[in-house]
């Protein structure tokens, strides 16, 4: 079986489709420049991508890329779409584009494509998700935007990015965490495993208490999972209806049953009159004795 392309029908399909290339028209200076697969475009003619999903760029990493560009140039071209005469908009490659500006380049190599706003957004988001060093929240936001703004189902999104649906769901669930917890994930103070364990704690107060214990005491994922189980047990205990206090008459019934069977009897009833009787026995012989009493 051939290996499935990671980009599915997202970025790869759009960029490889010949119908999206601007390769026809009159041979003006502007159109001649886009006849090849890669064109050199003036930096001044390229505007930022308004749909850029990535909002934080590591400064040290960016400067390392600047140094590389100063020595070797841009190895991987950026991707742009034509907006008008000598005007282009960045689709993907903003980090490379920013680094080229810092390096003082006046031109950058670029793939030139045609895409409407929705296709452009999808291309930028899918391309961004494939990047390394993205934090889990950035990935989650990109997945959510693909669902909301590109009108994709999780199944369709799974096809676009080559990820299992469960993986996508786990990332998106991170957006249900409190802003303080999300920030810790972005700053690498909290692992994906810790975050998933925290999500299993329903109570906000209990979840935040566990979160602070992670930061202060370095609790493991397993320890947080145990805290989640304890919190769940406590929550379920609170939801259980409390037994209604027995009236004098019912206490008398309980006492009479204990005398008759010669063993501990538990009688419970709720405020609606529903309940149960539990008869304890200590051995098989004791059970048979009780059954004889019941004539069973």
* Chain segment 80-97, per-residue pLDDT in tens: 888 877 888 888 788 889
Which range among 115-119, 120-124, 189-193, 214-218 shows the weakest confidence by mean pLDDT? Answer: 115-119
Question: Mean pLDDT over residues 8-14, rounded?
Answer: 44
Which range among 7-16, 33-42, 80-89, 269-278 shows the weakest confidence by mean pLDDT? Answer: 7-16
Question: Residue 173 — very low, low, confident or very high, per pLDDT cuts 50/70/90?
Answer: very high
Total-model pTM: 0.51
Q: Within 10 Å of residue 63's Cβ, how many Cβ atoms?
A: 13
Do 27 and 103 belong to one domain?
A: yes
pLDDT higher than 80, residue 33? no
Higher pLDDT, residue 43 or 296: 43
Give me the number of domains the chain comprises: 3
pLDDT higher than 90, residue 21? no
Do 19 and 70 belong to one domain?
A: yes
Cβ atoms of 193 and 165 closer than 8 Å:
no
> Which residue among 94, 122, 127, 225 is the active-site one?
94
> In the listed set 56, 89, 123, which residue is the last one of a domain according to the structure?
123
- Asked, for residue 32, whether it belongs to a domain, the answer is yes
pLDDT higher than 70, residue 8? no
pLDDT higher than 90, residue 46? yes
Do 116 and 133 belong to one domain?
A: no
Higher pLDDT, residue 53 or 151: 151
> For residue 50, what is the domain's CATH number?
3.90.1530.30
pLDDT higher than 60, residue 217? yes
> In the listed set 194, 229, 264, which residue is the last one of a domain according to the structure?
229
- Asked, for residue 2, whether it belongs to a domain, the answer is no
Sign of CA dihedral 99, 103, 104, 110: negative
- Asked, for residue 241, whether it belongs to a domain, the answer is no
Sign of CA dihedral 201, 202, 203, 207: positive
Q: Within 10 Å of residue 33's Cβ, how many Cβ atoms?
A: 16
Do 56 and 75 belong to one domain?
A: yes
Cβ atoms of 174 and 140 closer than 8 Å:
yes
- Domain range holding 167? 125-229
* Catalytic residue status for 180: no
Do 161 and 173 belong to one domain?
A: yes
Question: Which residues, in sequence order, are CB contacts of 295 under 8 Å at separation 6+?
Answer: none
Question: Mean pLDDT over residues 15-36, rounded?
Answer: 42
Do 112 and 183 belong to one domain?
A: no
């Amino acid at each position: 079986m051939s290996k499935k392309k990671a980009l599915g029908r997202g970025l790869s399909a759009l960029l490889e489709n010949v119908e999206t290339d601007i390769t026809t028209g009159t041979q003006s200076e502007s159109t001649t420049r886009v006849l090849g697969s890669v064109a050199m475009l003036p930096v001044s003619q390229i505007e930022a991508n308004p749909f850029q999903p990535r909002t934080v760029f590591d400064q040290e990493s960016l400067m390392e890329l600047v140094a590389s560009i100063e020595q070797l140039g841009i190895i991987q071209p950026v991707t742009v779409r034509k907006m008008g005469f000598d005007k282009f908009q960045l689709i993907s490659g903003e980090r490379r584009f920013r680094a080229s500006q810092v390096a003082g380049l006046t031109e950058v190599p670029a793939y030139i494509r045609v895409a409407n706003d929705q296709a452009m957004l999808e291309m930028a988001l899918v391309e961004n998700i494939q990047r390394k060093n993205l934090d889990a929240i950035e990935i989650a936001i990109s997945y959510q935007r693909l669902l909301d703004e590109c009108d994709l189902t999780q199944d369709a999104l799974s096809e676009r990015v080559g990820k299992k649906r469960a993986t996508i769901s786990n990332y998106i669930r991170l957006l249900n965490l409190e802003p303080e917890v999300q920030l810790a994930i972005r700053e690498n103070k909290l692992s994906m495993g810790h975050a998933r364990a925290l999500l299993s704690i329903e109570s906000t107060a209990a979840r935040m208490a566990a979160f602070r214990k992670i930061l202060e005491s370095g609790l493991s994922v397993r320890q947080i999972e145990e805290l989640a189980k304890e919190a769940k047990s406590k929550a379920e205990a609170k939801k259980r209806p409390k037994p209604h206090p027995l009236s004098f008459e019912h206490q008398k019934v309980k006492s009479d049953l204990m005398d008759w069977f010669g063993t501990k009897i538990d009688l419970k009833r709720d405020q609606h009159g529903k309940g149960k009787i539990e008869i304890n026995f200590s051995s098989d012989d004791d059970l048979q004795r009780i059954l004889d009493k019941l004539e069973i």
